[in-house]
Each structure stands twice: as C-alpha cells, then as structure tokens.
C-alpha cells in the first residue's frame, strides 16, 4: 500500500528519470522559484524537501524524524550502522568512530597522501593528456580509505582491486533512490553480472580482513591501533562493550562507500568547475589561498550527494500535507544549496563569496549525522589541488566530459579528459 500521494502545488519528480538526471539543477531552481520547494515522487512513493531551512528544521526534530530505516529509498530490514541508526545506538557508535577517526589520524596520513597523488601525476605527466577522473579522482580516495582500514588495494597476485570494488560500489549505491523492481535489478546486474560479482568480492574482502585483524592482534604481530578495524576490535564504547562483528563489517562497507564515492565526485567536480568557469583556474593558480573557497563553492553548487532519506516516527504535517507514520522523505541537500533564501544568486559559481557563508551548504548533511569524514574530504581536496595546480600548466578540457548517470543519488562526472602544456 502506498504511503504518499500527489499534493497540489508540490512538484512531481521521478528521481530516476532521464529529465531529472539531465536537468536536476533546473528542476531544483524551479522548485525554489515556484515558491514551494517540496516534491512528491509517485514512482518512488516518497516526498522530498528542498528548502534549506525546512531541511534543518526536520533534522532538529529528533523525536520525529528517524534514520532507522536507512538513508536509501528502500526500508532497511537488517541492522545498519551510523546513518541507519538513531540515538542511543548512534551515540555509542559515534563515540567509537570519533576515537578512530580523529584529525591526528588523518594528519598522520598526509605525507603518504601527497606522495600518492604526485606519483599518479608523474605516471601520466609526459603524455600531456589524461582522463583525470579515472587517473586520480577514483583511486585517490580509495587509497586513503584503504590505508585507514588497513586493506591492501591489490590482490595477492598484484592485480588492482579497484575495478571490482568500483563495480560493487556503483551497483550498491546506484539503487539507493530506485524503487525495487525486477527490471531495475536486472539492469543493475549488468550483462556480465560484474556489479553483483564486485559487491560479493568486496564483502568477502571485508570478512577476510576482519579475520586477519583478529589473528594478528592475537599473535601480537599488530598493535591495537594498526588500522581502524583493529581499533574497533580493541576499543570499547562508553558502556564498556565492543562493536559486534556484524557492525564492524557494516562499518567497513559504509566507510568505503561514504569515503570514496563522494570524495571522488568532489575532486572531479572541482576541476570541472575550474575549467569551465572563465578565468577560475588561472585565478586559483595565482592565488592558492582561494583553494578552500573553491572546494566549498563547488560542494555547494555541485553537491556530490543529491539527498538522503529520513522517516517520521509518528504522523506529522509537512508543509500542509499530513504524512502517515514511516513515510520516506528525501532531504535534498543539493536543492537546499540552491536556496535563494540562503545563498544570493545561488546558481552562480563565484569565488567572491564569503567562505563562512558558503560553508552553510548542506553537502555534508546537518545535525546528528553530520559527515564525520568532512575534515578528511577537505584534506584530500586540498592535497589534490596543491599537487595539480602548480604542475599541470594551462590545464584545459580535452574532449567530452561524461556525466555519471548510473548512480542517481550522486551527481558527478564519469570521465574528465584534460590536457596541459608539457
């Protein structure tokens, strides 16, 4: 039985449709200019909110709006982690994560991160051209998250794990706003079932890694802080208990997805903006102090995540519409970032904005579930730009930029061909 219905004056949006995938920014702009930034999707049986203020209001009503059914359109049936739990469970998990996810731990990785990006650039520099998305934006965040998790990015035979990890990620994240149907499942499987095969191999990789961490800790070969998983295994929560194996496996899967798919998109979006906004690349090359603003303005205008879901624990009114209990409502970070009530001339990319005001964007969420990896994502962006800007002189687009349409919940680039002066 459906929980939602169309509402007079609200827009109808199908988040998986071609018009949406091609033109979502215009759709968000129209939501605002029409004076009613609310939408209904009969295809997905959910509502969506694009008003910056109302998204924040919802996220402050902890007793009503819950994460327990997960951040995707489907209702989560198995126990989740972090973004799929509410306090007090969330408080427990977050306390453990905070210890394993500190700024000091991120900073300790800085020089390895810099070396990684420079080595990537060294490898293609002499060619004068590359698909920057595939060459750096995809492997860099995966390198970082795998360093943190302690999982090698190569199989024992030396072959890269990135292709099948990516296949698995695209398959699992790709369905987040999709209503379950036989057609969609078959489409996701792909002609060679590579997406599902990738997801299964990735899950097995986590299971093996958990077993390795336990064995190495027991033998004394690894210390408690060898990697995040060892920390999870050895650090109790506030009540003295430890995360279960299921939870640790859930954390690995979540961190891989949350930490790589999003950051990859941010990195390519930044370069794309700099190369398509007249004079922007040169301006930032001349004045690298603009790097933080470039990152935040790109995050605002090109939010990597379109939006995520909450459900209401009780009947509630949403902008005049009475919602049944446990209705899926999508909080549209990307639309909130284009709200003219908060951002002047919101569709315009500008390096003359006030950084503090731009940082009001919702791309990292808001409130209880605010992104724990935001400092890491910002650090990756800064290292990436500090390596690319001084080295790739006269950087320019070099062919068609393809958009990534396989993952409707994310907005990003699939290939970014660029050239520079050698």
Which residues are at the interface with ligand HEM (CB under 6 A)? Answer: 71, 82-83, 94, 145, 255, 258-259, 262-263, 266, 304-305, 308, 333, 363-365, 369, 371-373, 376-377
Measured from the CB atom, the residue of 59 and 285 that comes closer to ligand HEM is 59
Helix/strand/coil percent split, the chain, to 5: 50, 10, 40
Measured from the CB atom, the residue of 187 and 235 that comes closer to ligand HEM is 235
Measured from the CB atom, the residue of 100 and 401 that comes closer to ligand HEM is 100
User: What distance in Å separates the CA atoms of residue 411 and residue 406, rounded to the nearest whole number?
Assistant: 10
Closest distance of CB 378 from ligand HEM, Å: 8
Measured from the CB atom, the residue of 48 and 266 that comes closer to ligand HEM is 266
Q: Which two tokens stand for residue 64?
A: 């009503």
Bond preceding residue 228 cis, omega within 30 of 0:
no
Residue 277: partners with Cβ closer than 8 Å, 6 or more residues away: 349
Residue 235: partners with Cβ closer than 8 Å, 6 or more residues away: 96, 99, 100, 224, 242
Helix (H/G/I), strand (E/B), else coil: 414: strand
**43 phi/psi in degrees, rounded to 5:** -65, -35
Measured from the CB atom, the residue of 7 and 410 that comes closer to ligand HEM is 410
Beta strands in 85-242 (DSSP E): 129-131
Give residue number: closest CB to ligand HEM.
373
Cβ–Cβ < 8 Å for 182, 189? no
Measured from the CB atom, the residue of 147 and 353 that comes closer to ligand HEM is 147
Q: Which two tokens stand for residue 361?
A: 């964007």
Closest distance of CB 269 from ligand HEM, Å: 9
Other CB atoms within 10 Å distance of the CB of residue 350: 14
Measured from the CB atom, the residue of 44 and 373 that comes closer to ligand HEM is 373
Measured from the CB atom, the residue of 71 and 198 that comes closer to ligand HEM is 71
Closest distance of CB 377 from ligand HEM, Å: 4
User: What distance in Å separates the CA atoms of residue 382 and residue 396, rounded to the nearest whole number?
Assistant: 20
Measured from the CB atom, the residue of 171 and 311 that comes closer to ligand HEM is 311
User: What distance in Å separates the CA atoms of residue 280 and residue 283, rounded to the nearest whole number?
Assistant: 5
Closest distance of CB 393 from ligand HEM, Å: 27
**52 phi/psi in degrees, rounded to 5:** -55, -50
User: What distance in Å separates the CA atoms of residue 361 and residue 296, rounded to the nearest whole number?
Assistant: 8
DSSP character string of 105-149: HHHHTHHHHHHHHHHHHHHHHTTSEEEHIIIIITHHHHHHHHHHH
Closest distance of CB 372 from ligand HEM, Å: 4
User: What distance in Å separates the CA atoms of residue 412 and residue 310, rounded to the nearest whole number?
Assistant: 23
Closest distance of CB 85 from ligand HEM, Å: 8
Closest distance of CB 140 from ligand HEM, Å: 11
Closest distance of CB 266 from ligand HEM, Å: 4
User: What distance in Å separates the CA atoms of residue 255 and residue 149, rounded to the nearest whole number?
Assistant: 9
Measured from the CB atom, the residue of 7 and 97 that comes closer to ligand HEM is 97
Closest distance of CB 258 from ligand HEM, Å: 4
Helix (H/G/I), strand (E/B), else coil: 360: coil
Closest distance of CB 129 from ligand HEM, Å: 26
């Amino acid at each position: 039985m459906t929980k939602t219905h169309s509402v007079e004056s609200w827009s109808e949006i199908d988040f998986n449709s071609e018009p949406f995938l091609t033109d979502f920014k215009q759709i968000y702009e129209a939501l605002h200019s029409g004076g009613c930034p609310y939408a209904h999707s009969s295809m997905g049986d959910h509502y969506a909110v694009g008003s910056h203020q109302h998204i924040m209001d919802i996220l402050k009503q902890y007793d009503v709006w819950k994460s327990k059914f997960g951040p995707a359109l489907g209702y989560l049936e198995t126990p989740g982690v972090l973004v799929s739990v509410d306090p007090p469970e969330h408080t427990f998990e977050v306390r453990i994560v905070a210890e394993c996810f500190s700024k000091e731990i991120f900073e300790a990785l800085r020089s390895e991160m810099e070396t990684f990006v420079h080595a990537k650039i060294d490898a293609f520099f002499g060619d004068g051209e590359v698909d920057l998305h595939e060459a750096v934006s995809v492997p860099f965040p995966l390198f970082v998250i795998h360093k943190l998790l302690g999982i090698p990015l190569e199989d024992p035979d030396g072959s890269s794990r990135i292709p099948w990890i990516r296949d698995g990620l695209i398959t699992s994240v790709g369905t987040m706003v999709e209503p379950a149907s036989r057609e969609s499942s078959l489409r996701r499987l792909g002609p060679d079932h590579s997406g599902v095969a990738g997801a299964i191999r990735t899950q097995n990789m986590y299971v093996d890694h958990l077993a390795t961490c336990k064995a190495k800790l027991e033998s004394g070969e690894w210390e408690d802080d060898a990697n995040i998983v060892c920390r999870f295994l050895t650090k109790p929560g506030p009540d003295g208990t430890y995360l279960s194996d299921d939870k640790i496996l859930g954390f690995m899967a979540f961190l891989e997805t949350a930490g790589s798919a999003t950051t990859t998109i941010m990195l390519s979006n930044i370069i794309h903006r700099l190369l398509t906004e007249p004079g922007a690349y040169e301006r930032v090359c001349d004045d690298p102090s603009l790097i933080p603003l470039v990152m935040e303005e790109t995050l605002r205008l090109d939010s990597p995540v379109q939006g995520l879901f909450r459900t209401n624990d009780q009947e509630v009114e949403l902008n005049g519409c009475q919602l049944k209990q446990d209705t899926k409502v999508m909080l549209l970070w990307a639309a909130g970032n284009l709200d003219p009530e908060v951002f002047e001339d919101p569709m315009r990319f500008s390096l003359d904005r006030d950084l503090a005001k731009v940082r009001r964007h919702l791309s990292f969420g808001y409130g209880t579930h605010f992104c724990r990896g935001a400092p890491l994502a910002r650090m990756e962006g800064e290292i990436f730009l500090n390596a690319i800007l001084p080295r790739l002189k006269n950087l320019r687009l070099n062919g068609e930029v393809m958009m990534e349409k396989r993952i409707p919940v994310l907005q990003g680039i699939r290939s970014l061909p660029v050239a520079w002066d050698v």
